[in-house]
Amino acid sequence: MLPRYELVYETYGKLNADKSNAILICHALSGHHHVAGQYAGEPKNVGWWDNMVGPGKPINTDKFFVIGLNNLGGCHGSTGPSSLNPETGKPYGASFPVITVEDWVESQARLADMLGIRQFAAVIGGSLGGMQALQWSLAHPERVRHILAIASAPRLTAQNIAFNDVARNAILTDPDFHGGDYYQHNVVPTRGLRLARMLGHITYLSDDAMADKFGRELRSGKFNYGYDIEFEIESYLRYQGDKFASYFDANTYLLMTKALDYFDPAHDCGGDLNRAFARAKADFLVISFTTDWRFSPQRSREIVQPLLHNRRNVSYAEITSTHGHDSFLMQHPHYFDVVRAYLDNVASEVEA
């Protein structure tokens, strides 16, 4: 149990008089509260979903009051394993509790309470963020009118859990991990975090996208018959791994991947998603991407099926895209048209 916690959040647009135009953006594994725009004097620090969220964009901040937050357990300002435990004066580290998707949604609901938002116009998320959006419809059916679950799944498959486990093992077996209390040793399990991110990154891209971008290109144009970086893809992955390891907290990574693994709305319904989704009252837009194999279109159909069973209003779009799981973060005219068309209707409900 945490004695107390802080959540860092950002808002865009204006909350209308009856507080009916709020949209909550739930972030995925490495996301945070800085969803859109830039900070003064930091032109390069652009929000992670800036192409989607903003004035006149598909998630239109001229019409909606959009909230982005850093989830509990995160490492971008909200209370997480790297935060100081007020009782000990030391970072929580290994003593930070395991957080679930359900916990996140409860903490997000408290944030909504604090902002005076009784009901969200929409809760939107991609990947792990989509799971939070789904959980909103189940935990607080009266508090959300629309759910947009993008490149997501109702629960992870064995293969997906397996990827997460390998990533976690990379961190857990790093000698610098120190059982999660590496902060006191003034080290970070960089090697483990790098490997975890490299593995993750492979699964976020499609085979074709990788082939197009890197092929078998060699950095020096010839084989060197050694174990240094030779292929461009190796260079790219290591760069991505290093970049990630320089700012992301390893304990947060462990915690987030565990939250992914545990999430299963049908856990208390004998595995039956039809029964689990009987509680939902929202309307749904489910979106998947053809080349996404980490959260494949089939996983999105597993969200759609129980919604059909329960006769919820639901639309499903399968976007043809070459970018794999990362597609949900990319600018794509048709994908954006779908989100825009849906949210324009939501906006007209709000204005009415």
Partner 1 sequence: MKQNDIYRLAAERPDFAAIAEWIPKGATVLDLGCGDGSLLRYLKETRGVRGYGVEISDLDIVSCIANGVNVIQNDLDSGLADFEDNSFDFVMLSQTLQATRHTAELIQEMLRVGRQGIVSFPNFGYWKNRLNVLMGNMPVSSELPYQWYDTPNVHLCTLDDFESFCTAHNVAVLERRVMTGERVVNLLPNLLGSTAVYRFQRGI
Tell me which stretch binds partner 1 (CB under 8 A): 89-97, 187-195, 209-217, 303-311. 303-311
Cβ(196)–Cβ(253) below 8 Å: yes
**337 is an interface residue for partner 1 by CB under 8 A:** yes
Q: CB-wise, 187 or 341, nearer to partner 1?
A: 341
Tokens of 255: 């915690």
Q: Which is nearer to partner 1, 29 or 287 (CB)?
A: 287
Q: How far is the CB of 318 from partner 1 (least distance, A)?
A: 5
User: In the bound complex, what is the minimum distance in angstroms from residue 144's beta carbon to partner 1?
Assistant: 18
Instruction: State how far the alpha carbon of 91 is from the alpha carbons of 80, 84, 185, in Å.
Output: 9, 4, 11
Give least dist CB 147 to partner 1, A: 14
CB of 43 or CB of 333, closer to partner 1: 333
- Tell me whether residue 267 is one of the annotated catalytic residues: no
103 is catalytic: no
Residues in 306-335 at the binding interface with partner 1, rule: CB under 8 A: 308-309, 311, 313-320, 334
Residue numbers 272-301 binding partner 1 by CB under 8 A? 285, 301
Residue closer to partner 1, measured from CB, 169 or 315: 315
Of residues 133 and 338, the one with the C-beta less far from partner 1: 338
Q: Summarize the chain as % helix, strand, coil (round to 5).
A: 45, 15, 40
Q: Does 224 bind partner 1 (CB under 8 A)?
A: no
Residues 173 and 249: their CA atoms lie apart, in Å, by 15
Helix axes 128-139, 250-262, angle to 10 degrees: 50
CA distance 172 to 184: 16
Tell me, yes or no, if 32 is annotated catalytic. no
Residue 183 tokens read as 């902060």
Give, as one character, the DSSP assignment of residue 97. P
Kindly give the residue spans of alpha helices, DSSP state H, lying in the chain. Answer: 101-114, 128-139, 158-172, 190-204, 207-213, 232-247, 250-262, 273-276, 297-309, 333-351
Q: 30, 78, 82, 127: which one is catalytic? A: 127
Which are the catalytic amino acids?
A: 127, 292, 325
Binding residues vs partner 1 (CB under 8 A):
285, 301, 304-305, 308-309, 311, 313-320, 334, 337-338, 341-342, 344-345
